[in-house]
Structure 1
Amino acid sequence: MIKLWTPDTMPKPASRYNQLALAENTTRRLEISGQFGTLPDGRVAEGLAAQLDAALANVDTALAAAGMGRANLMKITVYLTENSPEAVSIYRARRDAWVGDAPAPAATLLIVAGLASPALLVEVDAVAAA
């Protein structure tokens, strides 16, 4: 069972995520390597929003391959190459749409100088448990 929450004794999150993710009575832990905004055919999606959607869809595919789903997510880490309020806003909107009504996992957002290729604008890695 995964419990996601932010205790009253901790700072309120800056956006939609939880400060803590606790996996109890689980026997399986899944570490998902960084997923880029790459489409199933190998092409890189165009633009930050499309790359975020593709990277998050790749996380969904990885979860499904392990017999898990978003309810098993404990934490996501997102790396953006653009340091602007607009980029952060796009990230938050796409993440919130992806999480939907489910409890938001713990999350970290990092702004980085670059990724494996200049065409890549985002990378998402995740941890899940079941």
Structure 2
Amino acid sequence: MKRYGPKTVRQVPPEFQNIYAHGVGISSPQQLLFLSGQIGIAPDGTTPSSFEDQCRQAMDNVEALLEDADMTLAHILRVTYYLTDAKDLPALTQIRRERWRAEQAPAVTTLVVAALANPDLRVEIEVTAAI
């Protein structure tokens, strides 16, 4: 995988370099994985009320799917985060730094949307990964 950030584009600030890359490319992947958006619902069907707990559960779900595909966080090319409240952006950034900090960060898009499929949901995480 190769990360892209030419000098002709604003450079990623140091505090975001381990959680964000402008672009990520691959050549001849052996395996390409597209995960559907993962939400903060636990295997038993419960949904935590807090944004932080939902975010951590959605990350747990992503990690379980990666493991099932014999991949790790290091194989993530792109992440899209959907949040229903802009006030949760600082918490998302903190949790990303705690959980998904990487020497080679993925390409990232974060969107604040009016709602997700269930009104109790506060975050959804979509991932593309490759080996």
- Give the structure-2-normalised TM-score: 0.89
Q: CA deviation at 1:58?
A: 0.7
Residue 3 (str. 1) matches residue 6 (str. 2): no
- Within 5 A, what are the aligned runs for 1:78-93? 78-84=81-87, 87-93=88-94
The superposition leaves residues 86-124 of structure 1 with CA deviations (integer Å, 9 ceiling, x where unpaired) of x11001111111113432211000000000111100000
Specify the code of the residue in structure 2 equivalent to 1:25: S
Which stretches in structure 1 are left out of the alignment for 5+ residues? Answer: none
Instruction: Note the residue ranges of structure 2 that are not aligned, 5 or more in a row.
Output: none
Structure 1-normalised TM-score?
A: 0.90
Q: Which moved more, 1:31-40 or 1:18-27?
A: 18-27
Distance in 1 separating the partners of 2:5 and 2:94: 20
Identity of aligned residues (%): 31
Alignment of 1:26-65 (within 5 A): 26-65=29-68
1:11-65 Cα offsets, whole Å, 9 max, x none, are 2346430001011231211000000011121111220111111111111011111
**Which structure 1 residue ranges, 4+ long, deviate > 6 Å from structure 2?**
none
Pairwise CA RMSD of aligned residues?
1.4
Q: Which moved more, 1:14-23 or 1:4-13?
A: 4-13
The number of aligned residues is: 127
